[in-house]
Amino acid sequence: MIRLRGSSLPGEIEALSGQRVFDCNQCAKCTAGCPMSFAMDIQPNQMIRLVQLGQADRLLRSKAIWLCSSCETCAARCPMSVSVAEVVDALRQLSRERGMADRSTGAPQFHQAFLDSVARHGRAHELEAIGVYKAKTRRFFDDIGLGIRMFRQGKLSLLPHRIQDRDVIRRIIRQSSGSSKT
């Protein structure tokens, strides 16, 4: 396959994801089975094409990379063994590192709040992660009823479960999760 010159994006994505993006032949089977395609601004097969073409800006600012649900249907069905899911992960990483993540989806803020909580305690503390997420997105009143019901059932604990070895977890998350620009 001919490699297109003039862009480092395909190389970067291949290095981060381990996927051979130039193997994609645009059959669009990934898009056909994608449960989130109806809500995406760029379809899964188009994402791979844009990576091949080095269109970093369009991809890294897209909503689609944050709307992917990581269901892996594309990866399971691609006849060329390309995983869009893993390419999307690499795009998310670059998008956050470059401060280009689309915040209107709420997903970058949610992931950040979740990981910050894990970095602090070694385990996820749902109440804290959701609280921080709501503060960042100002979506204070979403799911209030649901939250209260779960709290009453004893499913949302007030205090985090802390692990002993949490320094290691903090190091993992802080050293290699890009930035907290979200």
Partner 1 sequence: MPAYSYFPGCSLSGTSKEYGASTVEVCRALGIELTELEDWNCCGATSGHSASREVADALGARNVLLATDMGLDLVAPCAACYNRTKRAANVLAEGDAARKQRIAELLGRPVREPVRVLHLLEVFSHEEVAERLGGRAMQPLPVSKVAAYYGCLLVRPPKETGFDDPENPQTMDRLLRLCGLETCDWYFKNECCGASHSIPQSSVVLTLVDRIIRNARAAGAEWIVTACPLCQVNLDTRQQVALGEEPLPVLYITQVLGLALGLSPKSLGVPEQLMIPRVPAGAAGGGR
Q: What number of other Cβ atoms are within 10 A of residue 115's Cβ? A: 18
SS3 114: helix
Q: Which is nearer to ligand SF4, 9 or 132 (CB)?
A: 9
- Binding partner at 30 among ligand SF4, partner 1, none, C-beta below 5 to 8 Å by kind: ligand SF4
Any contact of residue 20 with ligand SF4 (CB under 6 A)?
Answer: no
Q: Identify the sign of the CA torsion 82, 84, 86, 91.
A: positive
Distance CA 161, CA 22 (A): 45
- Binding partner at 56 among partner 1, ligand SF4, none, C-beta below 5 to 8 Å by kind: none
CB of 63 to ligand SF4, least distance (A): 12
Helix ranges restricted to H, 18-67: 29-33, 44-52, 56-60, 64-67
The number of C-alpha atoms within 13 Å of 65 and in the hemisphere containing its C-beta is: 27
Any contact of residue 26 with ligand SF4 (CB under 6 A)?
Answer: yes
Distance CA 2, CA 155 (A): 54
Task: Considering only residues 53 through 82, tell me which ones interact with ligand SF4, judged by CB under 6 A.
Answer: 68-74, 78-80, 82
Any contact of residue 42 with ligand SF4 (CB under 6 A)?
Answer: no
CB of 156 to partner 1, least distance (A): 7
Residues that bind ligand SF4 (CB under 6 A): 24-30, 33-36, 44-45, 48, 68-74, 78-80, 82, 84-85, 88
